[in-house]
Chains A and B, each alone.
Chain A
Amino acid sequence: MSALPRECPKSEITLKVNGKRVTVHAYAMDRLLDVLRHDLGLTGTKEGCGEGECGSCSVLLDGVLVNSCLIPILQAQGTSVVTIEGVSADRRALALQQAFLDCGGAQCGICTPGMILAACYLLHKTPQPTAKEISEGLSGNLCRCTGYLQIIEAVEEAARRGVLT
């Protein structure tokens, strides 16, 4: 008798990813993170800890910031997911990406996609955040390189530029 997982049935799941409807066949408890990376080839979403602590796998699920490592794919049925690959359609995200480049918000880059999504979500809720609101808003996303200050500066800068445009 084999105990390998392939003996379990896969489910057909339909969801929208970056505006496109996709159907995948996956184990019900497969993580949204793995479906995005393995099945859909969207590798911009990163795995850091696999337990919802580091935020590297952040995506927007029906407009809400989630850790995709904690979402069983079954739960994503019928939802709309936006990843770093799709976020560039958003004016705010473009401003954030540019500000991250200008202010030194990205060093090794592994937390950056998640950080940009978290910052997008923050600016969506609070277009002109204070430094404290930014540091609290991003506190679910760990970065080991920057010490965060240049990330916070980048978000402030993006918010400032958002007013000008």
Chain B
Amino acid sequence: MNRDHIVGTSVPRLEGREKVSGQARYVDDMVLPGMLYGATVRSQIPRGKIRKITFGQQIPWQEFVIVSARDIPGKNCIALIEDDQPCLADGVVNHPEEPILLLAHEDRHALPMAVEAVSVEFDPLPAIFTIEESEGRREIIGGRDNTFKTILIEKGDVESVWEMADYIVEGEYRTGAQEQLYIENNGMIAAFEPRQGLTVWGSLQCPYYVHKALMNLCGLPEDRVRVVQLETGGAFGGKEEYPSMIAAHAALLAFKSGRPVKIIYDRMEDMAATTKRHPSRTRHRTAVSKDGKILGGTIDFTTDGGAYATLSSVVLSRGAIHSGGPYHWPSVRISAKAVATNAPPHGAFRGFGAPQSLFALERHMDHIAEVLRLSPVEIRRRNFLRPGQTTTTGQTVSDPIDLGRLLDRAMELSDYAPKKERFARENQQGSSKKGIGLAAFLHGAGFTGAGERYLSSVVGVEANKDGTVRVLVSSAEFGQGTKTVLCQMAAEALGLGYEDVRIAQPDTQKVPNSGPTVASRTVMVIGKLVQSAATGILQTLRASGLLGESYSAEEFRRACREYVRTRGELRSLARYEQPEGIVWDEEKYRGSAYAAFSWAVYVATVTVDLTTYSVTVDDFVALQEVGKVVHPVLAKGQIIGGVAQGIGFALYEKVVWDNGRMQNGQMTNYIMPTSADLPPIRVYFEEMGNVHGAFGAKGIGELPMDGPAPAIVNAVQDALGVSFDAIPLLPEDIFDALARQEVRPEHAAPAQKNP
């Protein structure tokens, strides 16, 4: 038996060699014989009735395959949570870029002009574009009275605290849409054979989401739809739900033409038509005692869901649950809602609502500190959740987490106090100002509430006739290292070497449904199931007498070979069962929202240039407690990459809207950080284990997205003494605020001292 630990070491990335040599196969690298290329005709307007579609005369249309809503064999919708999003518009459109017609041709050069030659005439209807317009209900465009979902979380009696308060601090905070900007655009290939059924190959996170959508759309049984994930060039949530749409389009063209069809979006189409992070507005009203304790408060969290419900309800849920952060609220009322507008539906993006509500909270904590003349460090310290206390949903903190100590360590690592003092002195003069800011936060791992129970994920481990072992999951690799860490865990559980374990490519015909690859769930939930399925293999081999208590890798292989030769297939399945003590009341939003939380304190140091008004992040400390670091290099990579996206969210990435359409859908004018823009990002881990995760691990994928934006904006406030409550924070916003401030000092208004 291999006694070296594999979990906790940086083994080589499983598919790394293929990636660095250019041999890894992504969807656009795949060509099938006789394949056509597909393209999409989209709505040019935000809302209206389709009056007439005209096909321009200069195109030989007989050479094209043309698909409209009438060609859909099953139900015209992309099945997800609610079936409200059409696959192809049928008579009406509800957002710009909504798909109306599909075209395919064997010459990909022929498609752009053909798309251009289709003209769609509309009878426009009035459209709405902001949360406020949606709330105004002048036009009802979707959901129930423009609302997709409302959530109410109540703890204690918040109405009783206002009287006790020494201070009542109010604030309103906003975050903008953010594009996932995976470098590989979305793409799918579909092929249909009457006997075998439908197969799609593509860039995606959730094979079984696509599978379900296709069954529904095509009216095909489970076993006649096959979804295969190819190497996926980044996703970040952006390939959670929208791939079902593209797969559906490719499938319809493949049905009608009888040939394989490939649809690859170019960058502009991908940015304009696919999902982005939900824009949000959060309003806080908080009762605080003069010694800096939060007594209670109300939090109104509202997101813009775009034109269809898609994932808005669950994004809202995570955002609402995280809106109280890592603090103890004796009483709180969180009212959350997702509203409809005539923009393309907003969707999953790393953090899934939490970066929005945590930005608001962590800015608000600095405002409270300012009102009470306490330091941002002290206000947090006095309100941190402690083991045994309950979160806003009434979940008891069972981790032995000491957030005060985590905070101390972050302060020390970032040189917080000396820097703060030095900046205050040095900022008196010069054409640039420096500041330091922090954010404390948490992120729940796994599906919210009863989500994991509903998913009921299944994982398999099989032994093959050559003695090798293979992990079978639908969990996808798209950069995070899914394959690597799951193989590490299987190897560790089996007492084998990392190189003795393989993992299957996600393919719905070959792997069980281990659920979607989202929600920081893979390492914790799927890892635990892999561990348990692997243990099942060991037990079977031992029970059969082929394997002793201790064994070498060669003895293990021999036992597998012998088992398969004499008794046939050796496969062990493990199904998720909700651990005892994890109870969730979906009606009241009470109970254990997540099986585990990761905890973090991030500190940003910035310079604001008063000539250009640009903000540079000079140093970034990311300290987090994650249960167990399964692979140090990959874990560090997740944190650095998430922080970089968070810096973009805070300072660079602005989606410019005009009538619901993204105006800057190019990498030229939608700006993400380059290698020259980023500070040293110093990553530190603490590990206190987790009974619900494999080898003590919790989720870390989304965590690093939550903290950077508030830490950076808090640092900008520290530098300038001016408050900013919306992101992205661009140089022009800083210029405007400084110009305004000369007229009227900001921030006096929201705080009110009780008599």
Residues in chain A within 8 A of chain B (CB atoms)? 1-6, 27, 37, 43-51, 53-54, 56, 83-85, 88, 96-97, 100-101, 103-113, 116, 134-136, 138-152
* B681 shortest CB reach to chain A, Å: 6
Inter-chain contact B183/A48, CB cutoff 8 Å: yes
Which 5 interchain pairs have the tightest Cβ spacing? A44-B22, A110-B233, A109-B19, A108-B479, A147-B644
Inter-chain contact A47/B640, CB cutoff 8 Å: no
Inter-chain contact A43/B233, CB cutoff 8 Å: no
Inter-chain contact A103/B633, CB cutoff 8 Å: yes
* A43 shortest CB reach to chain B, Å: 4
Q: What are 17 pairs between A and B in contact, CB < 8 Å? A: A4-B60, A4-B109, A45-B22, A51-B666, A53-B666, A105-B20, A106-B19, A107-B480, A107-B641, A109-B19, A110-B26, A112-B19, A135-B675, A135-B676, A142-B674, A147-B637, A149-B681
* B487 shortest CB reach to chain A, Å: 15
Given A4-B113, A100-B20, A150-B636, A144 contacting B236 (CB threshold 8 A)? yes
Inter-chain contact A113/B644, CB cutoff 8 Å: no
* A140 shortest CB reach to chain B, Å: 8
Specify which chain A residues have a CB less than 8 angstroms from the CB of B674 in the assembled complex: 139-140, 142, 148
B678 at interface by CB-CB < 8 Å: yes
Give CA–CA (A54, B675) in the complex, Å: 12
Given A4-B60, A147-B643, A108 contacting B234 (CB threshold 8 A)? yes
Give CA–CA (A43, B21) in the complex, Å: 11
Give CA–CA (A28, B641) in the complex, Å: 40
B191 at interface by CB-CB < 8 Å: no
Extra A-B contacts (19), CB below 8 Å, given A108-B182, A148-B678: A2-B59, A4-B60, A5-B107, A5-B110, A43-B29, A44-B21, A44-B22, A44-B23, A46-B233, A50-B266, A53-B667, A108-B234, A109-B231, A110-B183, A112-B19, A134-B675, A145-B479, A145-B637, A147-B678
B550 at interface by CB-CB < 8 Å: no
Inter-chain contact B109/A5, CB cutoff 8 Å: yes
Give CA–CA (A139, B640) in the complex, Å: 17
Inter-chain contact A142/B109, CB cutoff 8 Å: no
Specify which chain A residues have a CB less than 8 angstroms from the CB of B642 in the assembled complex: 147
List residues of B (665-697) whose CB comes within 8 Å of A's CBs.
666-668, 672-676, 678, 680-681
Inter-chain contact A3/B113, CB cutoff 8 Å: yes
Give CA–CA (A136, B677) in the complex, Å: 9
Specify which chain B residues have a CB less than 8 angstroms from the CB of A100 in the assembled complex: 16, 20
Give CA–CA (A101, B20) in the complex, Å: 8
Residue of A nearest to B478 (CB): A108
Residue of A nearest to B682 (CB): A149
Give CA–CA (A123, B457) in the complex, Å: 47
Specify which chain B residues have a CB less than 8 angstroms from the CB of A135 in the assembled complex: 675-676, 678
Specify which chain B residues have a CB less than 8 angstroms from the CB of A145 in the assembled complex: 234, 479, 637, 641
B12 at interface by CB-CB < 8 Å: yes
Inter-chain contact B232/A108, CB cutoff 8 Å: yes
B481 at interface by CB-CB < 8 Å: yes
Give CA–CA (A88, B182) in the complex, Å: 26
* A115 shortest CB reach to chain B, Å: 9
Given A4-B109, A48-B267, A145-B479, A139 contacting B676 (CB threshold 8 A)? yes
B459 at interface by CB-CB < 8 Å: no
Specify which chain B residues have a CB less than 8 angstroms from the CB of A46 in the assembled complex: 26, 28, 183-184, 233
Inter-chain contact B637/A101, CB cutoff 8 Å: no
Inter-chain contact B643/A97, CB cutoff 8 Å: no
Specify which chain A residues have a CB less than 8 angstroms from the CB of B636 in the assembled complex: 104, 150
Given A53-B666, A108-B232, A142 contacting B183 (CB threshold 8 A)? yes
Give CA–CA (A8, B423) in the complex, Å: 65
Give CA–CA (A61, B687) in the complex, Å: 48
Specify which chain B residues have a CB less than 8 angstroms from the CB of A97 in the assembled complex: 20-21
Residue of A nearest to B117 (CB): A3
Give CA–CA (A97, B28) in the complex, Å: 23
Inter-chain contact B644/A148, CB cutoff 8 Å: yes
B24 at interface by CB-CB < 8 Å: yes
B645 at interface by CB-CB < 8 Å: yes
Inter-chain contact B234/A106, CB cutoff 8 Å: no
* B542 shortest CB reach to chain A, Å: 36
B87 at interface by CB-CB < 8 Å: no
Inter-chain contact A138/B675, CB cutoff 8 Å: yes
Residue of A nearest to B667 (CB): A53
Give CA–CA (A83, B640) in the complex, Å: 29
* B320 shortest CB reach to chain A, Å: 28
B25 at interface by CB-CB < 8 Å: yes
Given A47-B28, A108-B479, A147-B640, A84 contacting B21 (CB threshold 8 A)? yes
Inter-chain contact B641/A51, CB cutoff 8 Å: no
Specify which chain B residues have a CB less than 8 angstroms from the CB of A112 in the assembled complex: 19-20, 22
List residues of B (108-151) whose CB comes within 8 Å of A's CBs.
109-110, 113
- By CB atoms of chain A within 10 A, which of B20, B21, B28, B673 has the most? B20
Inter-chain contact B21/A88, CB cutoff 8 Å: yes
B181 at interface by CB-CB < 8 Å: yes
Inter-chain contact B681/A56, CB cutoff 8 Å: no
- By CB atoms of chain A within 10 A, which of B24, B110, B636, B645 has the most? B24
Specify which chain B residues have a CB less than 8 angstroms from the CB of A85 in the assembled complex: 22
Specify which chain B residues have a CB less than 8 angstroms from the CB of A107 in the assembled complex: 234, 479-481, 637, 641
- By CB atoms of chain A within 10 A, which of B29, B60, B642, B667 has the most? B667
Give CA–CA (A51, B270) in the complex, Å: 14
Give CA–CA (A138, B676) in the complex, Å: 8
Give CA–CA (A105, B676) in the complex, Å: 16
Specify which chain B residues have a CB less than 8 angstroms from the CB of A106 in the assembled complex: 13, 16, 19-20
Give CA–CA (A147, B636) in the complex, Å: 10
Residue of B nearest to A116 (CB): B20
* B126 shortest CB reach to chain A, Å: 35
